Amino acid sequence: MRTKAVVVVITMSIASIAFAQGSPASSAQKKSPTSKGNAVPSATPAATQKPVVTAAPIRNAKPAADDVNTWAKPLYKTTKGQEKTIIQVDKFPYRESTYLSQKPIEPLAKDKYSFVTPEDALVSRLSAMANLDYDGWLKSWDEKSQQFLKSMDAHPDAGPQKRINQWRGVFGQVKPVLVRRIETGSYVIVTYKLLNKAGQDAGILEYPAAFKQVGGLWIGTQELQSDALMNMSPWVSGKMADEADARPLTETVIK
């Protein structure tokens, strides 16, 4: 708005100057022939001409400051930016123990599934997979996780039958065995590995499964899917610390 006000003031000033410089009125009087040389004034007085006011041309006003996209370029100059970093340290304490028994898990019958302990919950889930029991497997998860898994299985390239076929191919060749118990906050993570029919490791992977209490029972959850402890899995990776820029600077920052 400031630029517009200046334009108005300039326009008014120019108009005032033009008024002061209007054409002067004519004061000349006509003379007529006289007898005996006497000058006779004209019967009609000379008309007085009014000053002409000329409006000054209005220049094209520049956009007001409010019309400028300030996100594209700052309106005010600054000193050269200094890059600084704050550090936030998050600690994830946990208690780790290993299971003494290395006996492979034998699948439970469908009517024997139990969720009294985290270990019961994992054995019941693995049993449902070995029994090709999709509904029993789904019930081993909390409500939010169930909705997520159902949405995944609704994809054209997925589905319950595809999961069942995978379970059929895996559990016909291997059996699971519990390895570790990880306690962290209100969660318990139980890990397991797979053994072949000869009792040897069927791979180097150790699979973690997180559980929480719901209504007095231990139910599987995906709430730790993005958790640093779960992702780092220090019990197998040996990695106890990680550092990364949470929000790194980029060239898109306004200069």
User: If phi over 0 gives left and psi between -120 and 50 gives alpha, with beta otherwise, what is residue 132?
Assistant: left
- Asked whether the CA dihedral 189, 195, 200, 206 is positive or negative, the reply is negative
pLDDT (0 to 100) of residue 184: 97
Least confident of 33-42, 204-213, 224-233: 33-42
* pLDDT over threshold 80, residue 160: yes
Least confident of 39-43, 103-107, 126-130, 144-148: 39-43
pLDDT (0 to 100) of residue 73: 63
Query: 120 and 58: one domain?
Result: no
d(CA 130, CA 173): 11
Least confident of 2-11, 171-180, 219-228: 2-11
Q: Is residue 88 one of the residues assigned to a domain?
A: no
Put simply, whether the predicted model's pTM sits higher than 0.85 gets the answer no
Higher pLDDT, 139 or 70: 139
**pLDDT tens per residue across span 172-200:** 999 999 999 999 999 999 999 999 988 89
d(CA 59, CA 57): 6
Query: 102 and 52: one domain?
Result: no
Q: Which amino acid is at 43?
A: A
* pLDDT over threshold 70, residue 95: yes
Nearest to 191 by CA among 96, 109, 91, 92: 96
Query: 134 and 221: one domain?
Result: yes
Max mean pLDDT among 44-48, 64-68, 78-82 falls in 78-82
d(CA 20, CA 7): 21
* pLDDT over threshold 50, residue 88: yes
Query: 108 and 189: one domain?
Result: yes
Q: How confident is the model at residue 104 (pLDDT cuts 50, 70, 90)?
A: very high
Q: Is residue 115 one of the residues assigned to a domain?
A: yes
Query: 57 and 144: one domain?
Result: no
Q: Which residue has the tokens 């009014």?
A: 50
Q: Is residue 117 one of the residues assigned to a domain?
A: yes
Query: 159 and 63: one domain?
Result: no
Residue ranges making up the domain that contains 215: 95-237
Q: Is residue 37 one of the residues assigned to a domain?
A: no
Q: Is residue 154 one of the residues assigned to a domain?
A: yes
User: Going edge to edge, which strands form the sheet with 174-184?
Assistant: 95-98, 174-184, 187-196, 207-214, 217-220
Supply the CATH number for residue 222's domain: 3.10.450.50
Output the average pLDDT for the chain.
78
Residues 116-121 have a mean pLDDT of: 98
Q: How confident is the model at residue 76 (pLDDT cuts 50, 70, 90)?
A: confident
d(CA 75, CA 95): 55
First to last CA, the chain: 26
Q: Is residue 196 one of the residues assigned to a domain?
A: yes
Q: How confident is the model at residue 156 (pLDDT cuts 50, 70, 90)?
A: confident
Burial class (CB in 10 A: 0-12, 13-18, 19+), 134: middle
Query: 215 and 100: one domain?
Result: yes
Query: 123 and 63: one domain?
Result: no
Percent of the chain with pLDDT over 70: 69
Residues 49-57 have a mean pLDDT of: 55
Query: 141 and 184: one domain?
Result: yes
Nearest to 162 by CA among 146, 173, 149: 149
CB 215 within 8 A of CB 195: no
Q: How confident is the model at residue 34 (pLDDT cuts 50, 70, 90)?
A: very low
Q: How many domains does the chain have?
A: 2
- Asked whether the CA dihedral 222, 225, 227, 230 is positive or negative, the reply is positive
Q: Is residue 222 one of the residues assigned to a domain?
A: yes
Sequence-distant (6+) residues with CB within 8 A of 37 are none
Query: 59 and 99: one domain?
Result: no
Query: 125 and 61: one domain?
Result: no
Beta strands of the chain (E only): which ranges?
95-98, 174-184, 187-196, 207-214, 217-220
Query: 216 and 125: one domain?
Result: yes
pLDDT (0 to 100) of residue 75: 77
* pLDDT over threshold 90, residue 43: no
Q: Is residue 147 one of the residues assigned to a domain?
A: yes
